[in-house]
Amino acid sequence: MDPVTPVQSVVPVTPLTPVSPAAPADPAAHMTVVGARLAPMARLPRRLALFITALFVAVHALLAFAARDPGSSLLLTAISFVSVSAAAVWLGLSRPNRVPLPRTFSIFALSAVAVIVTSMHVSPLAPGPFAHWHLGAVTFVLVVFSVRGRLGASWLAYLVLVGIVIVWAMSYGLTAADGVGLVLRHAATLLAATLFALGLRRSAEALKVLHRERTERAVVDATAVAAIEEREAHLARVNGLARPTLDLLARSHELDDELRAECLLVEATLRDAMRGRALFLGPVTRAARAARIRGVKVTLLDDSGDAPPAELAAVAAAVAGELSVLSSGRLTARVLPADRPVIATIVVEATEHRILMVTPGGDIREG
């Protein structure tokens, strides 16, 4: 732009602080969504899990010892109880929601020990109502595994349990059907847990889809709001810069030199706002206006896009400082893209030609 005639400013123009480029707000930082990462298995609070585990151990201690058949071995009963209780405690204290396979097989092994040891001293025909307490205990462990995502492993372990019970029944002269009858009712319990786990998984997936849709909608809404705010900010900036001069033009009968110079200053400032948005700061715009009045050609460019440098204040201070001492010539200040070794360059063409470079740390060196 050609230098303008030095005149006293007719209408003071106060530059506005530039608005950052429109960017969608992060909905996750402002929305409280329960289960943002929903797992397809049930997750109990730790205290509740500990309470259920303790209740399991206490109840089966009563079933194993208080209702023990007088003919059964106390030592073997204790071994069975400790084995299945250890399996339950280990499962209850497991932090991962989906129990790892090595731990799964270890817990199943403890449960199998409880079943095998009990089969060594308790008859399948024992008349006591809780003589076969170990079958219910192991089934409860399998139920927890089903709810926590190990459906296939739970049913595989149940088939192993059925096989052990059939061998146990046949060793006492019963048939395989009699052995199946001892654990058939427990299959219904495991089936109910399986259906519950499948329903829970489906509900969790539906909630994940709903959450994703809500997040995407929030991003779209935030982007639209940011675009509207950015447009309104630009309109307000143009209005603040140009309206006083336009009003003055509308009231004037003729365009004199003073008003023509003011129009050129306003036009140059609007160009700075569009081409050098990162540098459209109060100190720079005031220094640029004063320099243009003195006859300096000023060009402000911003190539940083949506990633202005962190040390933008140092760049603005350097540009304003150079403009304040120039009385003639040309100054071109450019903010560079983020992947450059320097964040900005200032080219001064006056009595001497100089190039200043601003480093990412805010230091200024001559090129």
The per-residue pLDDT for range 263-293, each reduced to its tens digit, is 888 888 888 888 888 888 889 999 999 999 9
122 and 36 belong to one structural domain: yes
pLDDT tens-digit readout, 186-198: 999 999 989 988 8
d(CA 156, CA 141): 13
Torsion of CA 105, 109, 112, 114, to 10 degrees: -130
Is the same domain home to 292 and 168? no
Q: Are residues 327 and 196 in the same domain?
A: no
In terms of residue numbers, what domain contains 47?
A: 29-215
Domain end, chosen from 187, 215, 243, is at: 215
Average pLDDT rounded to a whole number, residues 132-147: 90
User: What count of Cα atoms within 13 Å lies in the side-chain half-sphere of residue 355?
Assistant: 6
Domain identity same for 57 and 166: yes
In a domain, 281, yes or no: yes
- Evaluate whether residue 231 is within a structural domain: no
What letter does residue 6 receive in the DSSP assignment? P
pLDDT per position as a tens digit, 100-119: 888 888 999 999 999 999 88
Has residue 38 got a pLDDT over 70? no
Scan for tokens 């001497």, then name that residue.
352
What pLDDT is stored for residue 128 in this prediction? 74
The answer to whether residues 38 and 170 belong to one domain is yes
Distances (CA, A) of 152 to 44, 145, 186, 244: 21, 10, 16, 77
Alpha helix ranges (H) inside 148-281: 151-171, 176-251, 257-275
Assess whether 44 and 149 both reside in one domain: yes
Buried b (16+ CB within 10 A) or exposed e, 31-50: eeeeeeebbbbbeeeeeebe
In a domain, 50, yes or no: yes
Assess if residue 246 is contained within a domain.
Answer: no
Is 303 in the same domain as 189? no
What pLDDT score was predicted for residue 253? 60
Residue 297: its pLDDT value, please?
Answer: 94
In this structure, is residue 70 part of a structural domain? Answer: yes
Residue holding tokens 């709001």? 225
Which of these three, 215, 239, 256, is where a domain ends? 215
Model confidence at 145: pLDDT above 80: yes
Q: Which of 167, 190, 215 is the last residue of a domain?
A: 215
Question: Whose CA is closest to 86, among 69, 106, 115?
Answer: 106
In a domain, 359, yes or no: yes
242 within a domain of the structure (yes/no):
no
| Same domain? 38 vs 157 | yes
The residues pairing with 298 across neighbouring beta strands, listed in sequence order, are 331
Identify whether residues 80 and 206 lie together within a single domain: yes
Q: What is the pLDDT of residue 78?
A: 92
Q: How do beta strands 297-302 and 330-335 pair? A: parallel
Residue 22 has pLDDT above 50, yes or no: no
Nearest to 236 by CA among 268, 290, 284, 273: 273
Q: Going by C-beta distance under 8 Å and a sequence separation of 6 or more, which residues neighbour residue 342?
A: 336, 357, 358, 359, 360
Of 183, 64, 47, nearest to 122 by C-alpha is 64
More confident residue, 232 or 302: 302
Q: Between 47 and 13, where is the model more confident?
A: 47
* Domain annotation covers residue 182: yes
My answer on whether 298 and 192 are in the same domain is: no
pLDDT at 86 over 90: yes
The verdict on 60 and 179 lying in the same domain is yes
Distance between CA 349 and CA 88 in Å, rounded? 82
Residue 310 phi/psi, 5° resolution?
Answer: -70, -35
Indicate the number of domains in the chain.
2
